[in-house]
């Protein structure tokens, strides 16, 4: 039976443990604090961080960990890293606070600035997305369930656009230039937008505005291995640990693997 490689499955188990910790908070009363960047923080973020760190520390091979919910690691240290874990314990805290279920656990392994292993868990639905470089992408719908290979699709007509629920932005003009007037918009929180494309249920996700590296790395691996791509607005694949800033450039995620197609549209040459 086809299934992800062993390390990817182990990280999936760690993500599920973080999901349990998140749901323990989600189903009760919780307070919301605001971080310095005005993003929300709850006990679930911290509980998931603890579960992930405990799981990673128990692995045979040990690599540095860069996480949204841990002290920042300076560039002077990070620039020496060739391989490390990039973690968002709870991606979509705004959706968590709204209790709409659209939040995820993101764990990626970065090697030479590329996301080579990605795990994304949706705690509320139990859907677990796992991918490893050169070995494909899988979906497991229940903790004790079978693994199902997933694949992105060729551009549908009309296309389906996965859009941010909490960070809409002024995207209409760009989307019109990319795919025309006739498309269906599906608003969705967190890294689930990438996963929707990876499993062939959407075609495009355009993000204009800031995101951080831990927001995209795990889901990028899933989408890449499902046959899609995550590109900056010059049409180049995303890379990580690029410099002192942990902010991503603006980007587009596509299910159609034709990178030249995406770059051509972005440059307005179509």
Single pTM value for the model: 0.94
pLDDT value at 242 more than 70:
yes
> What is the tens place of the pLDDT at every residue in 15-39?
999 999 999 999 999 999 998 888 8
> What is the tens place of the pLDDT at every residue in 181-210?
888 999 999 999 999 999 999 999 999 889
The residues, ordered by sequence, that sit 6+ positions from 152 with a Cβ below 8 Å of its Cβ are: 197, 198, 199, 200, 223, 226, 227, 228, 255, 256, 257
Tokens encoding 43: 């006990």
Is residue 189 within 8 Å of residue 95, measured between CB atoms? yes
Tokens encoding 13: 């188990």
User: For 225, which DSSP code?
Assistant: H
Tokens encoding 257: 């693997």
The residues, ordered by sequence, that sit 6+ positions from 69 with a Cβ below 8 Å of its Cβ are: 41, 45, 46, 48, 49, 89, 90
The residues, ordered by sequence, that sit 6+ positions from 218 with a Cβ below 8 Å of its Cβ are: 86, 88, 106, 107, 108, 115, 118, 119, 120, 191
């Amino acid at each position: 039976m086809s299934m992800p490689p062993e390390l990817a499955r182990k990280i999936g188990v760690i993500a599920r443990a973080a999901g349990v910790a998140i749901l323990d908070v989600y189903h009760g009363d919780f307070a919301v604090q605001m971080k310095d960047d005005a993003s929300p923080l709850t006990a679930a973020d911290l509980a998931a961080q603890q579960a992930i760190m405990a799981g990673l520390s128990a692995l045979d091979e040990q690599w540095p960990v860069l996480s949204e919910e841990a002290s920042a690691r300076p560039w002077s240290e990070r620039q020496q890293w060739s391989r490390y874990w990039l973690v968002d314990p709870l991606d979509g805290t705004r959706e968590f606070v709204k209790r709409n279920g659209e939040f995820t656990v993101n764990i990626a392994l970065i090697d030479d600035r590329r996301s080579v292993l990605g795990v994304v868990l949706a705690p509320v639905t139990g859907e677990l997305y796992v991918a490893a470089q050169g070995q494909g992408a899988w979906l497991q719908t229940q903790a004790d369930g079978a693994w199902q290979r997933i694949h992105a699709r060729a551009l549908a007509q009309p296309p389906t656009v996965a859009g941010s629920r909490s960070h809409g932005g002024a995207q209409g003009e760009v989307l019109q230039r990319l795919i025309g007037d006739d498309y269906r918009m599906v608003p969705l929180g967190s890294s689930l937008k990438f996963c929707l494309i990876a499993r062939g249920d959407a075609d495009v996700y355009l993000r204009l505005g800031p995101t951080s590296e831990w927001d995209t790395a795990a889901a990028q691996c899933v989408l890449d291995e499902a046959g899609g791509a995550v590109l900056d607005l010059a049409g180049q694949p995303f890379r990580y640990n690029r410099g002192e800033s942990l902010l991503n450039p603006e980007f587009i995620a596509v299910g159609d693997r034709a990178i030249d197609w995406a770059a051509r549209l972005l440059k307005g040459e179509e």
